[in-house]
Chains A and B, each alone.
Chain A
């Protein structure tokens, strides 16, 4: 009641208030009084507002009630009526075939998809103890954005926790089953595995803090030790059946690191002995693995504009689009992501040998015929039958300043070396000081030198980042390496920083193990960028993707400043397929024991209508986890099948052709 009284003044008439009080007790009577007292007067604005809100609420409740009363199978029924009967989910289908849970399964989530929760925080994070900061609804991003950024950042000297803040990975299957409510990651796979008898005791989500460098997850959280102990436990409690490992995205690199770590002797490694992998691992089924890195990691670090890391941006689009906030937000995100060592694990590896030089690239001749989101149907065949009508794209030029440069003949490019350029002290903008990026140390001279170098190949981009962000790269350089080993027996490769690079480390000695590379194809994937200098005076990031570099031609690979190539929207085919298609195939120096490898590609086919949600035949980086064919493959292997049972290789893209072009000693 008091509240209603408080609302009275704006309505300014006493008559209105009296019925107000009654109406809540006896709505019917009050309406009569109301009528009398108002006597043909006007309903006040507040009244009509309330009336309207009431209507909306009632309707809402009614709908909610209907929704809750609706049987759970109703949406499926509607879908089936519209699109015809749905195929059985693989779990149901394979259960009918008599498949049973056999090998324990270990999931290794990738970057970004794992939840993080707070264990200790600053004052501003009161009440968030053991609440998710990352994953879930991201409610805190809106409520206290600066606090959130502060807690999600790591210490930028050590790459570990800042003082007084402890943010840790959520553990268990809940860590990455859903990234946000309704947005599945592993949930579909888990549900299908449960159909053939899997449950908590033979499934394990190896959640780790994906912001840290791989070796630091062991130093800080003993994550690798836990994983080792859990695999050992599951193998011994499941009758000695070896484990099937299913890493996704960055988890692939993480597991590569693990396999090396676990066999190394104790202080640096896990002390499992030289046959640990052979004893405990049946198969590694890499989903969308960025073995050789992803080009978008470069863009992410260079100008915070890659899509993957920008999930955080997508969460608050309105925030980013308003001009005032935009630049600040980007910088905050950049500052945050730069403290995460893990982003550096995905920089392109193997340099020019793998990714191509100024005048060549392995994907030479790839055309993007009809590769538009809109004409999905043609997309599948594009890789094979699209014949070049025009000048091929120079994918080797990972970053070029200006569109002309990206297309110019190699001889026309005149590089001025930026490496020696003196970093000036003249700072373009002082307000950026408070946000930590290293650009302000560079000065105008440095920025100019970078832009004048014009073209950067994969090898040169590493130098570029070393120049642009020396501190960050120094920190990352202690944990990751991007080269190709000349001699794998060199004792220097005992250093953990080489363990996650497949080109600088050997696979374990486990001839019975199998390695699969499962990934989607048929989606344009970022491969090279056209950049420009950012002229905006109040920007702290001096470079920007040149989004107006665009070709009118539908068939062009160049879209909004980005050259696309075949892949799963995040990882180009070259990165996810090359190791299994060539470098590890048979007995090579990277695979001394001749572990069998298989490449399984899944052609992207987008959901036919909205009711299908994210589709059951998607090939996109994360959505592929709901791809029925992929789930079926994994389940068959988990139930005891091997690579030849599920049908060996299955390739749509030009991965073999491209692999041949790469000249690497094997």
Chain B
């Protein structure tokens, strides 16, 4: 019955003393005898138990595969199917532009430690390499800290094609649901294109190194020509929105000025609409915390993948530091820093979200939060709400006090005059091998920087320049975060302004449409309360700042050292919506040809049960790509509908009011 060799082997190794030679030759009948030996039977029963479990598992798996899905568990009809029945057909070619983090990266050339990983994904998919060879992985994903391009001997490139970002990890969809819905109304490889690019690079460098912009241009021209001269619909997500903004300007700039040479009118001729999903037009505050202390949530994907590693106190600081070093070498994160400074994000005493009330709180009680949101929209205000409002303008405040005090009581510190000192001597040298500029700053200056100070969206740049001058110098050659006084100034011909909607004009394309589609109803990081990392004997980190996780406000806006505003969990509504709601609306100086803009908000509704997994009405930054309402809008636009036909604006948040408060010259 049993294969003798195996059996004999086990007996030999575990029960030599107890089993007589005859038993070795016999099989099932002898088993009770064999089990009399304690050690042996322990082994046996282990095997036996595992066998049971495996069999049960297989049986269940088999049942799972063979039993038809009961009707109640079947997924609701996808919007694609429904629209297809209504007669909605593929018309305009669709270009998808993924955002930061969601696109896969694969290895083309690496160091010896990465052997066998040629053309395997380093970023995306299962991330197994993070666990197997973490240091090697970090080394390969980091860019050169001087140039922001490949380090010598390493080439990591974006995965091309739809597979780039259809699923971020197995079963964690990014674009897959949208692609599937598009396919239902007749889309296929020839009229959908994923404009993959290396999201670690600055936008200009994607063209320098990979010709990504040229490829995108050629692809759009091709799809326009092969699909009956129907203009394309572009669907960027997250950082892809500013990447595409950069593209719009690049493509019409003459070749001699470093552009794509498409000539004026290229966009008008080739693009029907830009449907931005969760666009980070004006940046996100979490980019600040990310650069300061590697604690933003978005980049922290990598952290959440290896929680055990991070939680162990011993490794924790090292890991954070490694991550920080890696993300500091990525120029693209700088593109996400808040743009427009105090005019947009508020100064020490004022802030745009003044009316915002954070009655909604944790995601656990999100059902409740919806109701509250509704109430808020109806302007029903319970008494208890009116408290001292959160001072969102102070994006970084050191200590809770500093975040609440009137501005006159704050330390005024001219950070530019502060000397960085040479603090390397008294810091631990163990960190010296890692590139992080913190160890060059003396402890004293750090304390000074952090003493009872608060930083606004403008002054926070001084802080960043102070603590990591090299990185900011490198990245600020590629990105700018201000507001233009005069858009016709010839300096705005430089590519570093192209991705900032406040420093660049939209192309001359009156027929084009701009959409801002994003989720609302989720608390979104807006400002942070920091503390100094405790300097003790244990102090090993070269990251001197931490988010003060112990600060919890009475009002729910403040939680774990972070203040929240309305948004889609990553991008605050003001960043996603302001340009479409005000900055570009009508003929403004940012939108000289007066192309139409539409704001479509999607109220977050968490999945009803576990079976729904990530839900079909989610409003969160990535999950919104599976939102039925959003998919339907995109599908209708792609099949030729205009913004008015899908219903014009739809706003749930206080966006319009907030926008009114922002006074910039339009």
Q: Which residues of A contact B (CB under 8 A)?
A: 3-4, 20, 23-24, 27-28, 30-32, 34-35, 38, 40-43, 45, 47-55, 57-59, 72-73, 119-120, 129-130, 166, 168-169, 171-174, 177, 190-191, 194-195, 199-201, 221-222, 225-226, 229-230, 232-233, 236-237
Contacts and interface: CB of A to CB of B under 8 A. Distances in A.
- In this complex, the member of A34, A43, A166, A168 whose beta carbon has the largest number of chain B beta carbons within 10 angstroms is A43
Interface string B613-629: 00000000000000000
Contacts of B47: 51-52, 54-55, 58
Contacts of A129: 180, 183
A73 B112 CA distance: 10
B190 A4 contact: no
Nearest to B46: A27
Given A23-B45, A225-B222, A35 B52 contact: no
B51 A52 contact: yes
A51 B108 contact: no
B51 A54 contact: yes
B316 interface: no
Contacts of A40: 32
B2 interface: yes
Contacts of B189: 119, 168-169, 171, 221
Interface of B: 1-2, 6, 10, 28-29, 31-32, 35-36, 38, 41-42, 44-56, 59-60, 108-109, 115-116, 118-119, 155, 157-158, 160-163, 166, 179-180, 183-184, 188-190, 210-211, 214-215, 218-219, 221-222, 225-226
Given A120-B183, A222-B190, 6 more contacts: A51-B48, A54-B47, A130-B179, A173-B119, A221-B189, A236-B214
Contacts of A31: 35, 38, 41-42, 44-45
27 contacts: A4-B56, A20-B52, A24-B49, A24-B53, A31-B38, A31-B42, A34-B35, A35-B36, A42-B28, A42-B32, A48-B31, A49-B55, A50-B55, A52-B51, A54-B48, A54-B50, A54-B54, A72-B115, A120-B183, A120-B188, A129-B180, A191-B119, A194-B118, A200-B108, A201-B215, A233-B214, A233-B218
B214 A119 contact: no
Contacts of B2: 48, 52
A410 B6 CA distance: 66
A250 B49 CA distance: 55
A594 B219 CA distance: 35
A232 B218 contact: yes
Contact of A49 (B41, B50, B51, B56): B51
A236 B261 CA distance: 13
Contacts of A35: 35-36, 41
A452 to B, nearest CB: 49
Contacts of A229: 218-219, 221-222
Given A3-B56, A233-B218, A119 B188 contact: yes
Nearest to A120: B183
A218 B147 CA distance: 43
9 residue pairs, one from A and one from B, having the closest CB atoms: A54-B51, A50-B51, A54-B47, A53-B51, A72-B116, A54-B50, A222-B226, A31-B41, A237-B211
B427 to A, nearest CB: 37
Contacts of A28: 42, 45
Contacts of B109: 194-195
A47 B36 CA distance: 16
Given A54-B54, A129-B180, A233-B218, A23 B210 contact: no
B226 A226 contact: yes
Nearest to B2: A52
A260 B380 CA distance: 73
Given A52-B2, A222-B226, A23 B49 contact: yes
- In this complex, the member of A34, A57, A129, A200 whose beta carbon has the largest number of chain B beta carbons within 10 angstroms is A200
Contacts of B55: 49-50, 53
A237 B32 contact: no
A40 B33 CA distance: 7
A50 B48 contact: yes
A665 B149 CA distance: 58
Nearest to B187: A119
A3 B59 contact: yes
A129 to B, nearest CB: 6
B9 to A, nearest CB: 10
Contact of A199 (B44, B51, B108, B161): B108
Given A35-B36, A168-B188, A237-B214, A51 B44 contact: yes
Contacts of A119: 183, 188-189
B218 A221 contact: no
Contacts of A48: 1-2, 28, 31
Nearest to B192: A119
B425 to A, nearest CB: 41
Contact of B32 (A43, A45, A53): A43
A399 B226 CA distance: 44
A516 B219 CA distance: 30
Contacts of A24: 49, 52-53
A119 B54 CA distance: 36
Contact of B188 (A52, A166, A226, A233): A166
A34 B6 CA distance: 23
Nearest to A198: B108
Contact of B52 (A50, A72, A173): A50
A43 B56 CA distance: 19
Nearest to B196: A200
Nearest to A55: B47
A195 B155 CA distance: 11
A47 B48 contact: yes
A47 B109 CA distance: 52
Nearest to B44: A51
A273 to B, nearest CB: 16
Contacts of B45: 23, 27-28, 30-31, 34
A267 to B, nearest CB: 14
Nearest to A175: B161
B44 to A, nearest CB: 6
Given A48-B31, A174-B163, A221-B190, A54 B1 contact: no
Contact of A23 (B38, B48, B162, B184): B48
Contacts of A54: 46-52, 54
Contacts of A195: 109
A42 B1 CA distance: 14
Contact of B160 (A30, A51, A172): A172
Contacts of B162: 130, 171
A230 B193 CA distance: 14
Contacts of B118: 191, 194
A38 B32 contact: yes
Nearest to A41: B32
- In this complex, the member of A23, A34, A51 whose beta carbon has the largest number of chain B beta carbons within 10 angstroms is A51
Nearest to A225: B226
Nearest to A228: B222
Contacts of B53: 24
B51 A200 contact: no
Contacts of A41: 32
Contacts of B48: 23, 47, 50-51, 54
Contacts of A52: 2, 47, 51
Contacts of A49: 51, 55
A222 B222 CA distance: 10
Contacts of A72: 115-116
Nearest to A38: B32
A58 B180 CA distance: 40
A356 B176 CA distance: 55
B455 to A, nearest CB: 41
Given A34-B45, A194-B109, A237-B211, A53 B54 contact: yes
A64 to B, nearest CB: 14
A49 B180 CA distance: 44
B225 A55 contact: no
A194 B226 CA distance: 32
A55 B10 contact: yes
B51 A57 contact: yes
